[in-house]
Amino acid sequence: MILYEYPFNERVRNLLRLEDQYQRLFFFVQQEDPRAHHAGLATLFEITDALARASGRSDPRGELLQELERQRQSLITLREHPEVEAEVLDTTIDRLQHVLAELSAQGKPGDITRQNEWLSSLRRRLLIPGGVCEFDMPSYHAWQAKPAQERFADLQQWCQPLLPLYEGLSLALELLRQNAESHNLVARHGQYQQSPNGKPYQLLRVWLPADSRIFPEISANKYSISIRFSNQDGQGKPQPVSQDVPFRLDLCTNL
């Protein structure tokens, strides 16, 4: 199956974007080729830039702390519920408490690029197309020529300050995804619409067979959900389909 997710609000949208950036970062960092590490550093700067821009409007770390604490309190109230598995519940609460402690102790995410003069110089050079050739920044060329394990150790050190935030957003999204209503549906003539009827959905997930070559174009808010299924023509342009499309729909709410 292939999964498509769509957020109902800006808070979840930002978490999903950060999750995607972190996953790309971890993938590139784990490779050995210096070109993969180059992509990893570019992604690292994407994350720190995104956090810096967000902090001008809001505090991503503070918002995440509030959300995780709200989820922790919601789980604590379930301890008296007779159908809840106490061991699983306590394990999840312990995870929340650990992540909250780690995130609370963390400084501003992304400070590493401001505190490290060489990383700051590299970040500025990466803004220029082709700006890190060996004649532009020979120190970076020398770093790329180091053994893979040395580069990996440097990348781990530079990524370390960002890990508490990743653990926090991963746990918040995990709990959100688990709290879902699942429905097996059919989009008649490639279209599906639904009204949330006041339910506070936070995230929509559409599952399709990986070999279907069909994808959803989604519009969703607290008033309506609209999904139109399309495929791609020879130029990659989306083309609406007219046949019935079976799919699975998950509607996720907070705890």
- pLDDT, residue 26, reads 96
Q: Which CATH superfamily is domain 9-171 in?
A: YacF-like (1.10.3900.10)
How far is C-alpha 100 from the geometric centre of its chain's CA atoms?
A: 18
Looking at residue 115, what is its pLDDT?
Answer: 79
Average pLDDT rounded to a whole number, residues 20-46: 96
At residue 56, does pLDDT exceed 60? Answer: no
**Structure confidence at residue 233 (pLDDT):** 78
User: Given this chain, do its domains 9-171 and 180-253 carry the same CATH topology?
Assistant: no
Res 192 pLDDT > 60? yes
- pTM to 2 decimals? 0.88
To which CATH superfamily is domain 180-253 assigned? YacF-like domains (2.60.440.10)
pLDDT-derived band at 243 (thresholds 50, 70, 90) equals very high
Residue 191 to residue 92: CA distance in whole angstroms = 38
Per-residue confidence (pLDDT) for residue 252, from 0 to 100: 95
Domain ranges in the chain are 9-171, 180-253
Please state, in angstroms and rounded to a whole number, the distance separating the CA atoms of residues 233 and 236: 5
pLDDT in tens, 127-167: 999 899 999 999 999 999 999 999 999 999 999 989 999 99
CB-based contacts of 226-229 (< 8 A; 24+ apart in sequence): 226/191, 226/192, 226/193, 227/187, 227/191, 227/192, 227/193, 228/190, 228/191, 229/187, 229/190, 229/191
Whether residue 139 contacts residue 125, with contact meaning beta carbons closer than 8 Å, is answered with: no
What's the pLDDT score for residue 58? Answer: 63
Instruction: Tell me the average pLDDT across 101-125.
Output: 82
pLDDT band, very low/low/confident/very high, at 111 (cuts 50, 70, 90): low
pLDDT digits (tens, 9 = 90+) for 59-94: 778 888 888 998 899 888 887 777 778 888 888 999
- pLDDT at residue 168, as a whole number: 93
pLDDT band at residue 107 using 50, 70 and 90 as cut-offs: low
In this predicted structure, the answer to whether residue 171 has a pLDDT above a threshold of 90 is yes
